[in-house]
Amino acid sequence: MKIVHAASEMFPYVKTGGLADVCGSLFKSLAGVGHEVSFFLPGYRKIIESKEFESAKLKVVLQVELGEQFLRGEVWALTLGRRQTLYIIRRDEFFDRTNLYGTRERDYDDNDRRFIYFSKAVVQAMRLLEIKADILHCHDWQTGLLPLFLRMAEQETGKSLALKTFFSIHNLAFQGLYPRSSFKFTNLPKEFNGIDGLEFYEQISMIKGGIFFADKIMTVSPNYAREILTPEFGCGLEGALKVREEDLVGIANGIDTEVWNPQKDPYLINHYNASDLSGKQDCQETLLKKVGLAKGEGPVYGVVARLTQQKGIDLLLKQMSFFVKNDCRLVLLGKGDPNYEKALKRFAKSYPEHIAVCIVLDEEMSHLVEAGSDFFIMPSIFEPCGLNQMYSQRYGTLPLVSGVGGLKDTVIDIVSDPENGTGFVFEANNDGLAAGLEASLELYGNEKDFVHAIKRAMKRDFSWKRVTTEYESLYLDSI
């Protein structure tokens, strides 16, 4: 098949979260099994200044209609490997910036114009480059309007650009909501600015465009696909999703098992596998030394997360006494809400022998936390899929997770299924996390059962090969 993907980020070029990891892995994996795959990204400063961009070739020049203006743009192409092409939409006014979406304090004021422009540019580029795709697959609100723009362009030109369109919701909480006045930048007929179109409580919702106008809607886990049909997790869009329920499919993400591999991870001081765990102890010693902690009687717990309410940081803050009382070690890596950062740093200052907090997002350090911890904590309030719980199992670090979204799909609870369990699944509340911590402490005290659980976790298959087969089937069935 000829498959086109479009998203606002992709690893290893630009990344703020799991969206980039998923897009990068799916892109590479689909090409690896024989499909011709193209990927469209905005021309962010980080990409344009990268060494890779030196070999990019200018393919076409665009004139994109945005409200009352026609704005120039460029499409640059990078051949990444056999059957893999990365197309970069360049307009420096919109994308030559330090950050992708805004500063830590606020989003960029023109994000509506930036990503409406990007989506229109992708459609125009596909037309000018004559990319006749079988599948156009768009990701999250930044490309929510792309399926609609594509169909409108097909009507105007009489030429097919893609047989079917897919739209993936990686996190429904981020919806691309803008003032209703932003609708003028779409240049769509006014009937699309109603309840059956983009209108959402006197605003426009870019994610709603994807929900209503793509042929198939994807989410990143089966459980999350069920959750978002309910008021609790639907973020106000459960009604719109109910209308498209027959076209809604959840496939749990995989992980890049080349990047996340304890047997050859370049970030680790020593390597290990399920048959020989000795290297994991070396990694733990390195981790503790790096953050200034000494090993205690209890286990080492790791956290790598954006410090937001969604990630359950409030729940974690209420359990800090657990680590002190049981002589455990907590190593936390992340950044986000300044209030959470301050609160966590206060605990680290009060209990310097038990708690280490690193307010940074660092790829090397995140690998070390995964390898050097005994348990990994993810007390998310909601979690479309999550990746760290899969990284953790691959690294023999048993995850403690809330029973929500993809966490529930990918972790087998040891308490309810001790023969097959690979982690701890608890209710997303204070009592739930407290019970999960106590259960993990009990397992740690039984070395035989603890090691068996580690080995079971490390043998699970979270590869993209499995996931890609499911995507292939869906694509083929749709065309």
Would residue 151 be called left, alpha or beta, if left means φ above 0 and alpha means ψ between -120 and 50 degrees?
Answer: alpha
Answer yes or no: are the C-beta atoms of 163 and 140 closer than 8 Å: no
Helix, strand or coil for residue 60?
strand
On whether 448 is known to bind a ligand per the annotation, the reply is: no
The sheet that has 162-169: what strands, in order across it? Answer: 57-66, 69-81, 84-90, 36-42, 2-6, 133-139, 162-169, 216-219, 248-250
The answer to whether the beta carbons of residues 311 and 402 sit under 8 Å apart is no
- Residue 276's contacts (CB-CB under 8 Å, 6 or more residues apart) are none
Q: Is the backbone peptide bond immediately before 231 cis, with ω within 30 degrees of 0?
A: no
CB 162 within 8 A of CB 146: no
C-alpha span between 400 and 376 (Å, rounded): 6
Contacts of 414 (CB under 8 A, 6+ apart): 398, 421, 422, 423, 424, 439, 443, 453
DSSP string, 250-304: E----B-TTTS-TTT-TT-SS---SS--HHHHHHHHHHHHHHT----SS-EEEEE
User: What does the alpha-carbon distance between residue 36 and residue 24 come to, in Å, rounded to a whole number?
Assistant: 15
Enumerate the known binding-site residues for ADP-alpha-D-glucose: 15
Enumerate the known binding-site residues: 15
